[in-house]
Amino acid sequence: MVDETKLEALDIFPWNENFETGIEEIDEQHKTLIMLLNKLANSLTQDETFEIEETFAELAEYAKYHFESEEAIWKKYIHEQSLIDEHKDSHDSFLPEVIKIKEENSHKSIHEIIEEILLFLIRWLAFHIIDEDKRLALVIKSIQEGKEINEAKFISNHKMSGSMKVLIEAILSMYDNLSLKAIKLIRERKARIKAQKELRAINKKLEELSITDQLTELYNRRFFEDTFDIELKKAKRNKTILNVILFDIDYFKKLNDTYGHSMGDKALVCVAKCVKEVCKRPNDFAFRIGGEEFTILITNEDFGNAYQLAQILQKEIDKLQIPNKNSEVSEFLTISAGIVELLPQEKDSIESIMKLADERLYKAKELGRNTIVKD
């Protein structure tokens, strides 16, 4: 599946040589404005409103800087105040129009509001550059060629009329259609991105469900076997210690018979919660591998650490004070554990290690339960 978030950005407002005024500083600023406008359009594919708002603020701030910079350039060459004032009025109308659009669409989402603003910006900016800015640029060119202001204005108006006026109208119409199509494409892309995210979330949840015991929310037996295989190979390759704690609940059948299976399930959940609180390190893996039987796999630790962790777990479970009055060890729930700590050799396998852990767990039961056996 193609990741839409990594696709090339859409140009909702492509730069065109018809927008060039011939004044390098102004043309470069116009290119930056258009780049920010395209950036704002592409931000609409994201769910995060702060990114949209930040990009909009960046565009607004740069527009303010550009207007001031552009007006300074006009004043430098053109000394007829009426021309300067007329152009400044156009600049001054920009922000109020944007605010008006925001207010009129305040009942809509931020994405819909920005779409409306984009349509306005494209039309306004295209007309402003290709008509108003180019008119003044032509006036400046004539003045630099030695013409008087009135003659320069006449030349500018003449060049901007006739076929040029038709061209301007054609370009504006083209950009109107282009902007509508681009907005539609952005909406479609956003919908695809949303669908992708939802699908990834579903797949992630399904993956989690496939490796998780539904009652206790610990890893299940299937994931235990996969993880054990990976960690055993890694331990052999890196010559590191592998620790296994195999434990189960003492007299769990009596607990179920005495209090009912619902209480038994609650006991399993409480034990699992305790296990998760004790096994917080990244190299601790906890599993429910069946019934009342649990396994903890510990990697990259020294000898003795597994025994210490098992003791901590035993004490924490004892603090829970889960009733089990018919237990022959205690009136509360207890656990027994078998521990294997080894530097794996080539001959060692999951089966051989778990067989040894099981033998030590059986020995713990023979010793009276509520016991940990490590050798």
CA distance 46 to 110: 11
Q: Report pLDDT for 277.
A: 93
pLDDT digits (tens, 9 = 90+) for 297-351: 998 777 778 999 999 999 999 999 999 999 999 999 999 999 999 999 999 999 9
- Give the per-residue pLDDT at 7: 53
Q: Which of 231, 292, 301, 341 is catalytic?
A: 292
Q: What is the mean pLDDT of the chain?
A: 88
Global pTM exceeds 0.85:
no
- State the virtual CA torsion across 344, 348, 351, 357 in degrees, nearest 10: -50
Span 23-81, pLDDT tens digits: 999 999 999 998 998 888 888 877 678 888 888 889 889 999 999 999 999 999 888 88
pLDDT 10s digits, 264-273: 999 999 999 9
Q: Which two tokens stand for residue 73?
A: 């350039």
Domains and CATH numbers, the chain: 4-205 (1.20.120.50), 221-373 (3.30.70.270)
Lowest average pLDDT, out of 161-165, 217-221, 300-304, 314-318, goes to: 300-304
Distance in Å from the first CA to the final CA of the chain: 52
Binned at pLDDT 50, 70 and 90, residue 218 comes out as: very high
Using a 10 angstrom Cβ sphere, with 0-12 exposed, 13-18 middle and 19 or more buried, the burial of residue 40 is buried
Active site annotation includes 292:
yes
Give the pLDDT of residue 247: 97
